[in-house]
A and B are shown apart, each in its own frame.
Chain A
Amino acid sequence: MRLSGRAWVFGDNVDTDQIISGKYLTLRDPDEMAKHVFEAARPEFPSGVRKGDVIVAGKNFGSGSSREEAPVVIKRVGISIAIARSFARLFFRNAINIGLPVLECKNYARIVEGDIVEADLEAGILKNMTRGDTFPASKMPKFLLNMLETGGALEAYRRRHGES
């Protein structure tokens, strides 16, 4: 799985309430919720994000709540992959389950807002195409990679049960 896009750069400890505030969870419709993604932290994000864009963040991205809507809204606005120094464990699980690719890379800080990056999930490599850098990144266990390639846990379940 190879994904590339334009980077939106975030700092450390971006919590789930920053991604989608609890008060919007009752909207239920992911498109409605997605209008409020990063509302307080990056008000320009919902209108500026383009399909295929990439999130690049520091450590502990998605900390806090178990709300699955956090990766859901990120995926819904068109983000192709979230790259971070590290992910909070709940966000990591939820992201894979809903089919949002995630990659951990220690060299995240060498990506600047607007850079074009390319992530290779099988090889565990992150490239900064704008600056010509290549960095080692995390490798995902095969069964999780398969789940992502299928589009998430629900899709994987449907395929196993021949309902797709």
Chain B
Amino acid sequence: MSVRAAEGGKHNVLHPGDIVVLPVDLAMAQDSTGPLAIKVIREMGIQKLWDPSRVHLVIDHTYPAADEKVANLHNLIREFVREMGCRLVEGSISHQHLLESHVVPGMILFGADSHTCQGGAVGAFATGVGSSDMAAIWATGKIWARVPESVKVNLTGKLEKGVFARDIVSHFIGRVGEDGGNYRSIEWKGPAVKTLSISSRACISNNSMECGCKLSVFEVDEATRDYFKKVNRKPLMEVHAGPKANYVKEYTIELDELQPQVAEPGHVDQVKTVDEMEGQHVDQAFIGSSTNGRIEDLAISAQILKGHHVKAGTRCIVTPASRLVFEEAITTGLAETFLEAGAVFTNATCGACVGTHLGVLGENEICISSSPRNYVGRMGASSAQIYLASPATAAASAIEGKITDPRKYL
């Protein structure tokens, strides 16, 4: 942060609590936060954005529009993009799209969406802000930020069969609580990091938001470098914690000992192991979201569902995180497996996770979901209940119509 903050103002060595001005490399808003940012920038009287090529508007929360109001908001965004010459993306979830196409190590990325911290998976400085902050960035290319304290999470061992990145981060949130990372930067370290794919790291960085963190970062390693060679994008810089790095807290997670995790409805930190929840009836199983809608999530779900059928009386909805994931799921036959199993395979959208379309819950319905939040009313009715789990646990639960340990099917 120090190095990049130096570009934004006169900063030398930074300490937690310092307020700095950061230069922004990429600024994103989506169809839920974008319209308000557009309203603010119009009220500011700004005619020209600081750098339209660095401003991305992503229509993902409700894509395609589910009703007339949303359709009008989408058009408002399209019109703004045309006028300002910035970038428009439709039908991929912002975080996954940016990971696939734009984010690089060392980049400073701000998004008007809380899960923007996903960018930390590849060593970017990535965090969420609200619409007014986003409008200010669009106008100036800069933003003030408070230097966060750092927390270190040491990952050791190796995940057992049926246990996934989502279980690591769910376990962590359960351990530190909903505010355990508030204002802080989480650094994921330790020998087990190299066993985690970039997608798995993205899941962890994304879902870390649920303990309130500002950043959730994996240092660049061989896997990151390979990934950027493969996608042919050049890292801006590698940021590594120095030997004198200070951590306000350190945790260790022994991956071998981890069980599949399930968060109980209402709060993301009410996390138990799957055996404590087994047998709970579910009306819907949702596999998707920016947290867990990548190809590895769909692949494990398809592997579990293959040769089985979604239980009568239960719906299973599979929503990929991006157009690329959607296409790959079709070309590799995963989509076919979902359809054969009786699941619904949708286009890429935030959809059910934000309760806007493609899987909204009715009164008293119970859902197991790989999405990041189980707040009251999040996916629809206030009386609906949302259990959070990995895609594998959601898929196994779809087969049995009740919360089920995925290891049974692997």
Contact = CB atoms under 8 A, between A and B. Distances in A.
A26 B382 contact: no
B45 interface: yes
Interface string A25-61: 1111000000000011100000000000000000110
Interface residues of A, number: 41
Nearest to A26: B69
Interface stretch (B28-36, B49-57, B101-109, B225-233): B28-36
Given A17-B376, A66-B112, A66-B114, A60 B178 contact: yes
Contacts of B130: 66-68, 90, 93-94, 97
B409 interface: no
Nearest to A28: B35
Interface in A54-109: 59-60, 63-69, 86, 88-90, 93-94, 97-98
A152 B69 CA distance: 28
A158 B377 contact: no
Interface residues of B, number: 42
B137 to A, nearest CB: 11
Given A93-B129, A153-B136, A88 B43 contact: no
Contacts of B183: 89
Give the most central of B36, B214, B380: most A CB within 10 Å.
Answer: B36
Contacts of A39: 377, 382
B154 interface: no
B70 interface: yes
B113 A66 contact: yes
B35 A60 contact: no
B114 A65 contact: yes
Residue of A13, A18, A88, A89 with most partner-chain B CB within 10 A = A89
B376 A154 contact: no
A17 B40 CA distance: 22
B28 to A, nearest CB: 11
Interface in B120-170: 128-133, 136, 144
Contacts of A59: 179
A92 to B, nearest CB: 8
5 contacts: A13-B267, A40-B382, A67-B130, A68-B130, A93-B130
Given A97-B132, A152-B132, 17 more contacts: A17-B373, A22-B32, A23-B355, A23-B356, A25-B32, A40-B377, A41-B376, A60-B179, A66-B33, A66-B114, A68-B131, A90-B129, A93-B130, A143-B19, A153-B132, A158-B43, A161-B45
Interface of B: 19, 32-33, 35-36, 40, 43-45, 67, 69-70, 73, 111-114, 128-133, 136, 144, 178-179, 182-183, 212, 214, 267, 354-356, 373, 375-378, 380, 382
